[in-house]
Amino acid sequence: MSNIDPTRAQFDAFKALPRDTPIHMLNLIRLKPLAEYPADHPNHGKGMSGLDAYREYGRTSGPIFEGLGGRQVWAGSPEVVLTGPSDERWDLAFIAEYPNAGAFLAMVTNPDYREHVKHRQAAVEDSRLIRFSPFAPGKGFGE
C-alpha cells in the first residue's frame, strides 16, 4: 500500500495539534521510475522520471513554501536501513521547517499549491511525512 497523501483521520490529528508553534516535517520519499500524470495533465505521456516530476514539484511549490516562512533545514540521500524493515528504501529524505502549523495548513490549502502538488502525486511511489515539535538537543541521546 502506498502512502502519498494523508488520510482524513491523519489530517484531522495534525489539525488538532497546536498551530502557533514551529514545526519540523520529516519527509521520506520513494520515487516512481516513471512519473504517472493523469490523462488531463499537460505532462501526461511525456516520459518524465519520478525524480524529474518531484523536482518540478519543488520548483513550482517552493515559492509558496518560502513565502509562508518555510525552509529546508536538512536533506540527505538514504543509503541503508540499519534498524527497521530491510526491504524499505527511500530515495530522498529531508526536514522542512515551518514557522507554525498554520503556515503548513495555508500552504496545502493554497489553490496554486493544490495544482503544483500534482507533480508530487505523479512522482511519488510511497512516502512518510512526520510532524515534529523541534527542541534544542541535550548532551545525551533522548535529552
141 has pLDDT over 90: no
**Pairwise CA distance, residues 91 & 110, whole Å:** 27
10 has pLDDT over 80: yes
Ordered by where they begin, the domains of the chain are 17-80+88-132 (3.30.70.100)
3 band by pLDDT with thresholds 50, 70 and 90: confident
> How high is the pLDDT of residue 98?
98
Return all residues near 100 (Cβ < 8 A) that are at least 6 apart. 19, 20, 21, 22, 23
**Pairwise CA distance, residues 69 & 37, whole Å:** 29
Backbone angles phi, psi at 29, to 5 degrees: -125, 130
Question: pLDDT tens digits, residue range 44-91?
Answer: 999 999 999 999 999 999 999 999 999 999 999 999 989 998 888 999
Helix (DSSP H) and strand (DSSP E) numbers for the chain: 4, 4
2 has pLDDT over 90: no
Q: What is the mean pLDDT of residues 95-106?
A: 97
Q: Where are the beta strands (DSSP E) in 6-134?
A: 23-31, 71-76, 92-98, 124-132
> How high is the pLDDT of residue 41?
96
pTM of this prediction? Answer: 0.91
